[in-house]
Amino acid sequence: MDLPVNPPVAPMLAKPVNAIPSGDYVFEPKWDGFRSIIFRDGDEVEIGSRNERPMTRYFPELVAAIRAQLPARCVIDGEIVVPDAEGSRLDFEALQLRIHPAASRVELLARQTPARFVAFDLLALGSAGYLEQPFGGRRAALQRVFAGVGPPLHLTPATTDRAVAQRWFGQFEGAGLDGLIAKQAAGPYEPDRRVMFKVKHERTADCVVAGYRTHKSGEDAIGSLLLGLYTDEGKLASVGVVGAFPLARRKELFAELQPLVMGFAGHPWNWAEHMAGQRTPRAAAVSRWNADKDLSFVPLRPQRVVEVRYDHMEGPRFRHTTQFVRWRPDRDPRSCTYAQLEEPVSFDLGEVLGGRHG
């Protein structure tokens, strides 16, 4: 490729803040997908990822759309997302499944769960580089690029009105988005620097600790605690993990939890008896992302309750690793149910992608 900005490029990043900032900012929804930079030079198309590795082969339907609709020479920053079967909200799990080594599987998934690309920044157009231009100018040029572009390529909504951004923050979560991004209107594009701001939803939940995995430092330290919530049917569902502890605390936790260690017989996640149709920590003994990563765990009697901080759910599980808040010895483990979780107000993804959001 011979572009003003050539691959690989590390995308500009965001740092978390607790509130929507005031000032000369442009606000956008925070998309929950794969951060990607598109490079097009004639028929050559490359889709770079956040870690600067190409993802082009996994999304042939996007490559075809890029060739058909985008300018012959351009570099555009954005996010690859996959809607659910109804097209009403994002499905990150379906997006993860799109990364598959077999070409035949890639082609099948491109038809079954087609992806979308949501653009939110312009790095180059024609023979002109845009990195040094203020974001306001980059956004205006990107709007012109997307004036005649249609699905599966989209331009993200943007506003300079903080009140509108606040409304989006509440509404768009119902479509599977996970917060807001704030960009300085006068700021240049700074690869691999955390110069944007992100505001995410933050909630807490009381969960049952039903197992642990050991830490990479040794078998006498906790790597992560496995969390569960009880369903309406009284079954303990696997909902995620909490794992950010200082090393000394990891070793203390290991010693504290040893009296609760049990065998799989009689455990709620007895994979030998209950694996069929269940998503449990033993549903796959090896991660599909890293064949060397062991996903087995040490079962614990489900007697301890921990309060964790989370941002949002992906189906029945926490979308991201949770953060430890405190132990809850006052809580009965059986009282830790899905009913405590705040449900976002439903909002249709099509309205966000189509600009029908007020």
Query: What residues are labeled active site?
Result: 30
What string of DSSP letters covers 294-328?
B---EEEEEEEEEEEEES-EETTEESS-BEEEEE-
CA-closest candidate to residue 172, choices 159, 185, 184: 159
Closest CA to 32 of 133, 148, 180: 180
- Alpha carbons 349 and 178: distance in angstroms, whole number: 12
User: How far is the CA of 247 from the CAs of 215, 243, 300, in angstroms?
Assistant: 9, 11, 21
> 79 in helix, strand or coil?
strand
In Å, how far from its chain's centre is CA 181? 14
**Residue reference for tokens 């200082």:** 246
- 54 Cβ contact list (under 8 Å, min separation 6): 7, 46, 47, 48
Q: Are 17 and 197 in contact (CB under 8 A)?
A: yes
Rg (CA), the chain: 22
- Cα dihedral value 193, 132, 39, 57, nearest 10: 10
Cβ-contact 196, 181 below 8 angstroms = yes
Residue with tokens 């794969």: 34
Three-state DSSP at 288 gives coil
Instruction: Give CA angle at 165 (87, 47), nearest 5°.
Output: 50
Q: Distance between CA atoms of 133 and 147, rounded to whole angstroms? A: 20
First to last CA, the chain: 40
